Amino acid sequence: MLLDRYKINLSSIASGATATTINIPISLELQLVDQSELVETVFVDVETEKAINPIIDYEKVRFTPIDLNNEQINSIIYVVDLLGNTTYGSIGFTDDDIKYENDSFKQTFLNLNFYDSDNPLSQNLVTYVTLYSEIKPSDLLATNGVSGSMGQPKPANQIPITYVLNSPLFNQRSFSEGYYLYDYKDELAIGEYKYLYMRASFNNAKTGKSTNMMVKDVALPIDSLIHQLYTRFKLIRTNSGFSYQIDNTYNGDGSINPNNITYSNNQSLNSVVVNLYEINAI
C-alpha cells in the first residue's frame, strides 16, 4: 500500500496563525490489505482437494450368465481338445488316478484369464477363474441300469476333459465356481455394457505341462493365431440387474465364421458349450 508523506516545518508557520491546514487526499477505492481469505479459497482449498484421493466404489457385483434370449443359463460347459486328445486317458492319466482322485488329477486345471482388450500389447488383466478337475455324475458307470448313480468311475479313456459349471439354484450339489463373474459395481451404468476377453490355458499336473488354448480346431499361421486366442464375454447392466453373455459371433480377425460357442436349444437344460483347442501353428 502506497502512502503520501508530509513534512511540517513549524518555523515556516507564521506567528499567531490560527487557521493553518494540511490537505490530505482521501481515495474511495477499496484496497486489499489482508488477503488471507483469498489465499484460503483460491489456493489452500484447491490444493487440499487435489491431495484427497477420489472416492472409488470397490463394491463388486455378481453377473449371471444368460443366453441369446436373455434367459438364465443353467450350465456352462468348457470342452478341452488337445490336438485330438479329448479324454483324461489320452493325456496320460490312469484309471487309478481317476478312481482314487490322486493329486495329479485333482490338481489338473483349466485357467481362464479375463482381459479388458484382445490386444496383448495394451490389455489389462481384470480377473481370472481356475477350474479344477473333478469326477462328475456323467463320469460314473451305471448302477442298476441308472447312469451316474454313485457307481465306480468310468475308465480314464472314457472320461472327457470337460469342466461343467452349474447354477447353484439349478443343482445345489454341483460345481459352480466360475459360473458367476464379478466386476465393480460402478463400471457400468444402467443400459450400458462392456466386453471382457477370455484366454484359456490347460495345466496338466500329471505331466507338468501347461498348454495355451485357442478357439479354432485347425492349424493356423503364426500371424493368424493372435486373432483366435480369445472368447468374448459381454457384461450387461439393466434395470433388472447384472448379467453376461458369451458371444457366439465374435472373431478377433473380423470374420463372420461361427465361433467356438454353442447354445443349447434344450430349454430343460439351457446350457452353453465353449470349445477350446490346443494352439496348433503351421
What is the separation of C-alpha 216 from the centre of its chain, rounded to a whole number of angstroms?
A: 23
Q: What is the 3-state secondary structure (H, E, C) of 214-274?
A: ECCCCCECHHHHHHHCCEEEEEEEECCEEEEEECCCCCCCCCCCCCCEEECCCCCCCEEEE
Tens digits of per-residue pLDDT, 103-130? 999 999 999 999 999 998 999 999 999 9
Tens digits of per-residue pLDDT, 211-254? 999 998 888 888 788 888 999 999 999 999 999 999 998 887 77
Average pLDDT over residues 5-25: 65
C-alpha cell at 258: 461361427
The residue that leads in pLDDT, 133 or 48, is: 133
Average pLDDT over residues 128-138: 92
Average pLDDT over residues 58-67: 89
Segment holding 195, helix H or strand E: strand 193-204
Q: Supply the pLDDT for residue 233.
A: 96
- Report in angstroms the alpha-carbon separations of 154 from 4, 90, 102, 210: 108, 14, 15, 25
Average pLDDT over residues 154-174: 86
Dihedral sign for Cα 122, 192, 256, 261, please: positive
Beta carbons within 10 angstroms of residue 217's beta carbon: 14
Question: Is the Cβ–Cβ distance between 71 and 65 less than 8 Å?
Answer: no
Which of 254, 237, 245 has the alpha carbon at shortest distance from 274? Answer: 245
Lowest mean pLDDT among 6-10, 66-70, 112-116: 6-10
* Residue located via cell numbers 513549524: 10
* Residue located via cell numbers 488329477: 105
Q: Supply the pLDDT for residue 172.
A: 61
DSSP 8-state class, residue 40:
I
Q: Supply the pLDDT for residue 174.
A: 64
Strand 181-184 with 125-132, pairing: unpaired
The model's confidence at residue 56, banded by pLDDT at 50, 70 and 90, is: low
Residue 269 has pLDDT above 60, yes or no: yes
Q: Collapsing DSSP states into helix, strand and coil, what is residue 142? A: coil
- The pTM (predicted TM-score) of the whole model is 0.77
Question: Is the Cβ–Cβ distance between 116 and 123 less than 8 Å?
Answer: yes
Which of 111, 145, 116, 144 has the alpha carbon at shortest distance from 128? Answer: 111
What is the phi/psi pair of residue 147, to 5°? -70, 135
Phi-psi region of 101 (alpha: psi -120 to 50; beta: other; left: phi over 0): left
Residue 136 has pLDDT above 80, yes or no: yes
CB-based contacts of 21: which residues, under 8 Å, 6+ apart?
none
